Amino acid sequence: MRIAIVGLGGVGGYLAASFAKSALDVVGFARGAHLEAIQESGIIIKEDEKEWNTPLHVKSLNEIEGHFDLVIFCVKSYDLAFTCKAFQNHIDANSIVLSFSNGVNNGNILREYCDATVLDACIYILSHIEAPGIIRKKGKVFAALFGGEDEVAVKTIAALFDKADLRYKTPQNIQEAIYKKYIFIAAFATLTSYYDESIGAVYEKHYEEAKRLLTEIAEFAKETQGIDIFAEVQKSLETAKKVPYDSSTSMHLDFTNGKKTELENLSGYVQKPFMQKLYNELKKRV
């Protein structure tokens, strides 16, 4: 099976390295100094207790060649449609595609731009690009979740994660699972960016605000999708308490580094009063 992993940031870089290390046929797609560093020296993964390096076949998006049986998109949500279009001529009805981008409607975006089998998915991981060619993963948090109506496709992806020794789940209700991930990342991406502090600091100093925002997102999911994730409010707070204190979110890092952010997808998407107040203030900082 020929695999493409598009976007080699904290998520895609860790996945691509793990797949390559397990001798899977994977091609990573990156750009700039990160691409050049991986081409020259392979990709380096720094975890809490270990560091490892593996060679990785890596290209830029304008060098796509051949057919892919699986394409995993790990790009920012605002780049998903663009990158999916770039692969239209390199996948077919027998290909499988999925996205680990932040958000709750990525599967629908993929279905709009390709004819492949689309699985809905999300991922739990704390990781980021530390320097060109280097991915820093923090803590033990890792779980890839994916699912859909095509059971063969789900089993095919599960086998790949088994081979790469990566934890995964295949929930019956993948949409509910995606919203359970979204509630945490949308709330803490917004709050870490708004207060310019780590997840641990937000939990410690702004607990009531975090609880209020999580509750709003649960209300939004119920009102718009009929999905009940109110139990995730307290679970998300417990997760924030357990992750390494200095862990942050990719949106916060993007604000800090003056990069394009996923503000619209993570904050603007939730039409509730407190979230919109935070969103409107953050929009002034973009």
pLDDT tens digits, residue range 47-64? 988 999 999 999 999 999
The pLDDT value given to residue 230: 98
- For residue 268, pLDDT over 90 is answered with yes
Residue 140 pLDDT level (bands cut at 50, 70, 90) = confident
Strands 134-147 and 96-99: unpaired
**pTM for this prediction:** 0.89
Average pLDDT, the chain: 96
Do the bridges between strand 96-99 and strand 70-73 make them parallel or antiparallel, or are there none, so unpaired?
parallel
Location of structure tokens 């209300």: 219
Task: State residue 139's pLDDT score.
Answer: 86
Which parts of 22-133 are beta strand (E)? 25-29, 43-46, 51-54, 57-59, 70-73, 96-99, 117-131
Q: Is the pLDDT score of 182 beyond 90?
A: yes
| Residues in a beta bridge with 124 | 143
- 192, pLDDT greater than 90: yes
Tell me the pairing of strands 117-131 and 134-147. Answer: antiparallel
pLDDT confidence bin for 161, thresholds 50/70/90: very high
pLDDT at 244: 87
pLDDT of residue 234: 98
pLDDT digits (tens, 9 = 90+) for 256-265: 999 999 999 9
How many other CB atoms are there within 10 angstroms of residue 14's CB atom?
Answer: 25
Q: What is the predicted pLDDT for the residue at 250?
A: 86
- Going along the chain from its start, the domains and CATH numbers come out as 2-172 (3.40.50.720), 176-283 (1.10.1040.10)
- What whole-number percentage of the chain has pLDDT above 90? 94
**Is 105 exposed, middle or buried, given 0-12, 13-18 or 19+ CB atoms closer than 10 A?**
middle
Q: How confident is the model at residue 27 (pLDDT cuts 50, 70, 90)?
A: very high
